[in-house]
């Protein structure tokens, strides 16, 4: 069974604290010393993960109050979360909370920028993530994409099928591979997607029962032509564009139903947030 958010947060804190705990704070502060602090944006960010950062503090017994919820842009200097409790707990949670929030906001900010570009162009395509995620952090990166209005796509190899180039090469027959996957669906709503390398492949995948075709590594004009051809023959098919698409060129692929971008997670930086001591303004 996949881990929950609470499971991952506990694991991250265990990584930082191990068995010895925060040796610095434990030496400096008595166990009953209390304090307060606030998480502040140091740069512009689309918020995702404020509530998750709060959960980090709460896991160690502190209280947390969300000042600005997820799903909106904030400017530098914005207080997004206030925390209070034992000083040892606040300082032990600080870096894990900042890492979690900063990384999620980095992914969300790229996702939101791409989504807003498509919306401004009047394109109906959704922005989608991929499995090019940070090991051990996929749960939160996918959540950040969702918060920013994108499609997280499949969470792993278990919740949707995708016949890719190496499946085809190993099987030796695209139609046979697609037919086998469609036959093995665990339930009628289980989605099957097929990566295609030609217009003929796209048509063949649709004929064998695929729900989606993924047009990979094609220029926008070629991809659009393949999409129009397969849609004309199979009106229910949905089309994804993917393969090295730069964020600044996402609009060129707006003819697709979704545009998947590995860059949302691969190229996202951890945005800068800080923990400022005291109640503040």
Choice among 26, 58, 216, 267 that is catalytic: 216
Structure confidence by residue, pLDDT tens digits, 32-47: 999 999 999 999 999 9
- 184 lies in the same domain as 262: yes
Distance CA 231, CA 205 (A): 12
Same-domain check for residues 227 and 253: yes
The reply to whether 127 and 239 lie within a common domain is yes
Measure the CA angle with vertex 279, ends 33 and 71; round to 5°: 120
Alpha helices by DSSP H, 60-164: 87-120, 138-147
Its domain, for residue 90, covers: 5-107+269-277
Query: d(Cα 34, Cα 223) in Å, to the nearest integer?
Result: 60
**Which residue in 3, 72, 164, 249 is the catalytic one?**
164
The confidence band for 7, taking pLDDT boundaries of 50, 70 and 90, is very high
> How far does the chain reach from its first CA to its final CA, in angstroms?
44
Residues 80, 155 within the same domain:
no
- CATH at 243: 3.20.20.70
Look at the chain and report how many structural domains it folds into. 2
Closest CA to 223 of 256, 246, 248: 256
Residues 224 and 169 in one domain: yes
Does residue 148 share a domain with residue 49?
A: no
Asked if residue 281 has pLDDT above 80, the reply is no
The SS3 call for residue 151 is: strand
Residues 135 and 94 occupy one common structural domain: no
Q: Are residues 122 and 241 in the same domain?
A: yes
Catalytic residue among 84, 95, 131, 175: 95
Active-site annotation holds for 132: yes
Q: CA–CA separation, 224 vs 231, rounded Å?
A: 10
User: How sure is the predictor about 70, in pLDDT bands with cuts at 50, 70 and 90?
Assistant: very high
Q: What is the pTM of this model?
A: 0.94
Catalytic residue among 84, 131, 132, 175: 132
Phi, psi at 183, each rounded to 5°: -65, -30
The secondary element (H helix, E strand) that includes residue 156 is none
What pLDDT score does 280 carry?
Answer: 75
User: Are 13 and 88 contained in the same domain?
Assistant: yes
Residue 54 CA to its chain's centroid (Å): 19
Do 96 and 176 fall into the same domain?
no
Average pLDDT over residues 1-21: 93
- Judgement on whether residues 80 and 153 belong to the same structural domain of the protein: no
Let me know whether 90 and 142 are in one domain: no
Distance CA(39)–CA(102), nearest Å, equals: 11
Reading the block at residue 91, the tokens are: 């300082």
Question: Is 164 labeled as catalytic in the residue annotation?
Answer: yes
H or E stretch at 40: strand 34-41
pLDDT at 209: 94
What are the tens digits of pLDDT across the range 245-265?
A: 999 999 999 999 999 999 999
What is the pLDDT, as a whole number, of residue 271? 98
Distance of CA 90 to the CA centre of its chain: 27
Chain segment 74-108, per-residue pLDDT in tens? 999 999 999 999 999 999 999 999 999 999 999 99
In angstroms, rounded to a whole number, what is the distance separating the alpha carbons of residues 119 and 209? 31
Active-site choice (143, 151, 193, 195): 195
Residue 1 in this model has a pLDDT that exceeds 80? no
Where residue 54 sits, what CATH number does that domain have?
A: 3.90.1170.20
Segment 194-211 shows an average pLDDT of 95
Contact 253, 239 (CB under 8 A): no
Interval 12-30 mean pLDDT: 95
Clarify whether 95 is annotated catalytic.
Answer: yes
The confidence score (pLDDT) of residue 279 equals 84
Q: How far apart are CA 153 and CA 258, in angstroms?
A: 10
Which residues are bridge partners to 259 per DSSP?
127, 241
């Amino acid at each position: 069974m996949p881990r929950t958010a609470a499971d991952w947060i506990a694991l991250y804190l265990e990584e930082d604290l191990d068995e010895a705990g925060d040796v610095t704070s434990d030496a400096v502060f008595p166990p009953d010393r209390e304090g307060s602090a606030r998480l502040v944006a140091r740069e512009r960010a689309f918020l995702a993960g404020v509530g998750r950062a709060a959960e980090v503090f709460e896991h160690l017994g502190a209280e947390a109050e969300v000042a600005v919820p997820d799903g909106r842009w904030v400017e530098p200097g914005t207080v997004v979360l206030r925390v209070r409790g034992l000083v040892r707990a606040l300082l032990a949670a600080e870096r894990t909370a900042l890492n979690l929030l900063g990384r999620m906001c980095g992914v969300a900010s790229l996702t939101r920028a791409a989504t807003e570009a498509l919306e401004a162009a009047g394109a109906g395509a959704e922005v989608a993530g991929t499995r090019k995620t940070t090991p051990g952090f996929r749960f939160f990166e996918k959540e950040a994409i969702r918060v920013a209005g994108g499609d997280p796509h499949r969470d792993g190899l278990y919740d949707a099928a995708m016949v890719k180039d190496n499946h085809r090469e190993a099987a030796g027959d695209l139609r046979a591979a697609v037919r086998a996957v469609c036959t093995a669906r665990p339930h009628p709503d289980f989605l099957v997607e097929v990566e295609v390398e030609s217009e003929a492949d796209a048509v063949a995948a649709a004929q064998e029962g695929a729900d989606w075709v993924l047009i990979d590594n094609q220029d926008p004009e070629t991809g659009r032509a393949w999409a129009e051809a397969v849609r004309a023959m199979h009106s229910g098919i949905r089309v994804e564009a993917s393969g090295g698409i730069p964020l600044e060129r996402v609009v060129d692929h707006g003819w697709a139903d979704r545009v998947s971008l590995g860059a949302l997670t691969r190229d996202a930086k951890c945005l800068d947030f800080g923990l400022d001591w005291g109640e503040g303004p």
